[in-house]
Amino acid sequence: MKSFFVIAIFIFLMFVFYQCMNKNGSVKEAAYVGSEKCQSCHQKEFELFKISDHFHAMDTVSAATVKADFNNSRFIYAGDTAFFYTKNNRYFVRTTDSTGVKKEFTISYTFGWRPLQQYLVKFDDGRMQVLPFCWDTREKEKGGQRWFHLYNKEKISHTDELFWMGMNQNWNYMCADCHTTDYKKNFQVADNSFHSKWKESRVSCESCHGPASGHIQWVETKDKLVLLKGFSISLASKQLNWKMDAAKQTMLPETVIGNDTLIETCARCHARATRFTDEYVHGQSFLQSHIPSTADPVNYHIDGQIKEEDYEYASFLQSKMYAAGVTCINCHDPHSMKIKATGNALCGSCHSSSKYEGPQHSFHKADSTGNKCVNCHMPMTTYMVVDNRLDHSIRIPRPDQSLTMGTPNACNKCHTDKSVKWAADNFTKWFGSKLPMVKNYGELMYNISRFVQESEPSLYELLKNKQYPAIIRATAMEQFSFYTSDRVKTVILPELKSADVILRLNAVKAMNNYPQEVVLENVQPLLSDAVLAIRMEAMTVLAPYYLKLSRAGSKQFISVMNEYMQLQEKMSHRPEGFYNRAIIKNFTGNFAEAEQLYITCIQRFPDFIQSYSNLVDLYREQNRDEEAKRIIDKGLLRQPNNPFLHYAKGLWHIRMKDYTNGIAELKKAAEAGASNAQMVYGYAIGLFSTGQQSKSIQLLEQFITTYGNQPLILDGLISVCHDMKLEEKAAKYASVRKNVYGY
C-alpha cells in the first residue's frame, strides 16, 4: 500500500511538471502580457485602476498627459530663468546644464500625476534625468497651477550633487523601478551607458500580481491542477475571523495571520530601499532584490516618527495595525488606491465610534480638525513642497515625550501658536492615567542614543522584548552595534537565525564590532542563507577574516563574492559600484585590482571622497607614501575642507616625522568634522604625543560634553589619563564606559 502511495504521488508530480513544460521540453517562464489584456475580464477593477496614481505614474508626452503650462511660460529660481514651450507638438525646456550654460532640452516623459507632475529628459547615453521644475497640479484656489522648484528656496547650482543632471537625479536608478512595469536598468560598464527596458510606462496590474501569461492560459482551460489560477503569487489574505474586543472596543482577529507577500509587494515602491539587481521574482522575499532601510535617525526621529521621505513601509511595520495582521488593502482599495471610507468612518470600521469618535476621546469638538483620527494618530509631513504624507506608524501622540526627547508631536503640528509644555500638560491631564506602564520603544531608543548609564540596559530591554516592533529592534541592532556587552550579545546572536529577514539582516550587520572568533563562528553559516541580501551582508562582514574561514566557508564565500561582484559591477553608474568591489578585493588580497577600482572610481566620480581615503590607506600599507600624498592633494583640490582628507594628510606628515604640519592638518580635520569621534580622537592623540597633554584631555572632555560618551573618546581619555598617571581620572572614565556599554 505504501509503495502504491509513493508511485501515485510520483505520477502526479510528473503530470504537473509536464503541464508546465513547453513542446521543446523546457519549463515555461511566465511572461508579461500588458494590462490591456486584463480589462476584458476585470472591467470593474480596470476602471478603478485608470483613476489611480499608479495608472499615471509615468507616460509619454502629449497634450493629454502634460498638465503643466508649456505655453511660453517661465519660472525664475534663484535668479535663473527656465523657459517652457512647444514646437511641432513637442515639449521643451530651456534651462541651465551641468556646465552652467543655458540649453534647450526635449521633454520625453511625464512623471507622476498629483499633487505634482515632474518631467524627464533623455540623453544619448540612455540616461533619463528628472527636471527640478515641477508643476503643482492642485486647484488654483489651493495654491496650485504653478511651476515650482523641487528644492524650493534652497539654491542648487550646477556644481551641486543634487543638480538635476547629476547621478542623484537619475531616473534609471533612482525612480524607474517604481514608475514602470518589468523594468530592467541594463547599465553597461564598458561604454558607461544605460540600455534600460520596460514593458509599460506605468505601475500596471502585473507590477503587483506578477506576469500574467500563465493566467491567460488558465483562463482558456480553467484547469484545476494549475495553482493560483496561473499566477505565481496570491495577494489575498487568509480569511480571518474578526471579533470586537469588549475592553478595547476594537475589532481584533482571533488568530493573527500576517500577509507579508502583500506587504512586501507594496514595499517594492513604498519603502526606502536600495535595489541591487534587475531580477525581481514575485512572491520571493523582498530582500532577494532590495535592501530596505531601517527607521534610522537620518530619515526618522529617534522615536520612529517620519522625518525625511520614508515611503510608508518602515513606518507601517512599527504600527499595532501591522502587528494585528492588518495590511495595506484593509484601508486602501488596491486598484484605485483610494481609502475605502472617508473621514473617521475608515477607522470606525475597526474601532468603536462610541468609544473613540467624539470629545469623550479626542477632547475636541466633534466637527473640529482635532476630532479627526488621522490628525492625531497619523500626523502629516509635507515633502516635495506640496506632497502631504501621513505617518503610517499610527501612534499615540506624545507631546509629553517631546519635552524630554525633542521629537515632534501631532498636537503642536495643529496648535502652532502653543508651547510644547502646554500640549504636554493637557495631554497628561487627559490621558496620563491611561498610558501603558512599560516604556515605549521611543523612550528606549532615546536612552540608547544618549550614551548614558541607561543606554546599554535600554538596548538589552528593547532587543529581548519581542513585543516591540521587529523593525525597531532591527534599527537598534544596526545603529547601536557598538554596544557589545555579553548580555546584548546573547539577544543578538539568536536573531541571526530569526525567521524575520530584516532582523536577520541587521543582526549580521551588528556583528561588525564583535571579536573575530564570534564573527567566524556565528556569521559563517549565513553565507548559505536562502536570502541574497543576507548572504551578501555575511560575506562583507567576513571579508576581513577571509584567510581564517574554514575550507567549506571559503568556498561558499567565493561563490557569494562572485555573485556580489557581478551585481556591484552593474551598479557602476554610481561610485559605490567601484568602491564596494575595491573593498572586497583589498580584503581578499587582490591589491592591484582594488587599486585600479579606486582609481577608476576617482576618475569617473571625482567628488566621491571615500575612494581617495581608501586608496591612500592602500598606498600607506604598501609604503607608497609619495603616491598617497598625491591622492590626498588631488582630493583636497575637489573638497578643500574635507575632514577625512585632512586627517589622512595629518597622518602622512606624522609618518614623515613632520609633526608641526601633521598636527596642523589633524586640527583642520577635527574642526571640519567636529562631531566625528575619529577626527577629534586623532587630533587629541596628536596633541598628547607632542607634549600638549592638558589640551588633549580638554579636547576629549569637550567632545563628551557636546556629543556624549562615545566609546572611542572614552578610550582616548582612559589611555591619556593612564599615561599621565592621573589614575583617579582614568578610573572615572573606565567606570563611565562600564556603566554605559556594560564592559
- The pLDDT of 705-721, averaged and rounded, is 96
Q: Per residue in 54-112, pLDDT tens? A: 999 999 999 999 999 999 999 999 999 999 999 999 999 999 999 999 999 999 999 99
Q: Which triple of cell numbers denotes residue 715?
A: 578610550
Query: Across the chain, what does the average pLDDT equal?
Result: 94
What would the DSSP string read from start to end of 674-693?
A: TT-HHHHHHHHHHHHHTT-H
Separation of first and last alpha carbons in the chain: 64
CA distance 478 to 470: 12
Reported as half-sphere exposure (CB side, CA atoms, 13 A), residue 411 has a value of 23
Q: Per residue in 343-401, pLDDT tens? A: 999 999 999 999 999 999 999 999 999 999 999 999 999 999 999 999 999 999 999 99
pLDDT attached to residue 310: 86
CA distance 581 to 593: 9
pLDDT attached to residue 237: 86
pLDDT attached to residue 29: 80
Q: Is 576 strand, coil or helix?
A: helix
- Minimum mean pLDDT among 197-206, 215-224, 393-402: which range? 215-224
CA distance 655 to 661: 11
- The pLDDT of 520-538, averaged and rounded, is 98
Q: Which residues contact 203 (CB under 8 A, 6 or more apart)?
A: 54, 55, 57, 178, 179, 180, 181, 269
> Phi and psi at residue 305, in whole multiples of 5°?
-70, 150
Nearest to 335 by CA among 55, 564, 144: 55
pLDDT attached to residue 2: 43
pLDDT attached to residue 495: 98
The answer, yes or no, to whether residue 588 has pLDDT greater than 60, is yes
When pLDDT is cut at 50, 70 and 90, the band that residue 225 belongs to is confident
Query: Is the pTM here over 0.75, yes or no?
Result: yes
- The pLDDT of 698-727, averaged and rounded, is 96
Residue spans per domain, the chain: 58-203, 242-396, 435-514, 515-560
CA distance 459 to 741: 10
pLDDT attached to residue 17: 41
CA distance 182 to 175: 13
When pLDDT is cut at 50, 70 and 90, the band that residue 437 belongs to is confident
Run of H or E including 92:
strand 90-96
CA distance 625 to 619: 7
CA distance 271 to 312: 6
The answer, yes or no, to whether residue 635 has pLDDT greater than 80, is yes
CA distance 613 to 634: 11
Run of H or E including 84:
strand 80-87
> Phi and psi at residue 293, in whole multiples of 5°?
-75, 150
When pLDDT is cut at 50, 70 and 90, the band that residue 9 belongs to is very low
When pLDDT is cut at 50, 70 and 90, the band that residue 146 belongs to is very high
Q: Which residues contact 460 (CB under 8 A, 6 or more apart)?
A: 485, 487, 488, 491
Q: Which residues contact 310 (CB under 8 A, 6 or more apart)?
A: 272, 299, 300
CA distance 684 to 713: 9
pLDDT attached to residue 583: 98
Place of cell 567601484: 578
Nearest to 117 by CA among 48, 79, 69, 73: 69
CA distance 152 to 144: 14
Nearest to 269 by CA among 337, 346, 187: 337
Q: Per residue in 460-494, pLDDT tens? A: 999 999 999 999 999 999 999 999 999 999 999 99
Q: Which triple of cell numbers denotes residue 397?
A: 501622540
pLDDT attached to residue 239: 84
Q: Which triple of cell numbers denotes residue 728?
A: 583617579
When pLDDT is cut at 50, 70 and 90, the band that residue 339 belongs to is very high
Asked if 612 contacts 646 with a C-beta cutoff of 8 angstroms, the reply is no
- CATH code of the domain occupying 435-514: 1.25.10
Asked if 101 contacts 165 with a C-beta cutoff of 8 angstroms, the reply is no
Residues facing 184 on adjacent strands: 197
When pLDDT is cut at 50, 70 and 90, the band that residue 28 belongs to is low
pLDDT attached to residue 658: 97
Q: Per residue in 359-368, pLDDT tens? A: 999 999 999 9
Run of H or E including 106:
strand 102-111
The answer, yes or no, to whether residue 115 has pLDDT greater than 90, is yes
Tell me the chain's radius of gyration from C-alpha atoms. Answer: 29
Give rounded-to-5 percent helix, strand, coil for the chain: 50, 10, 40
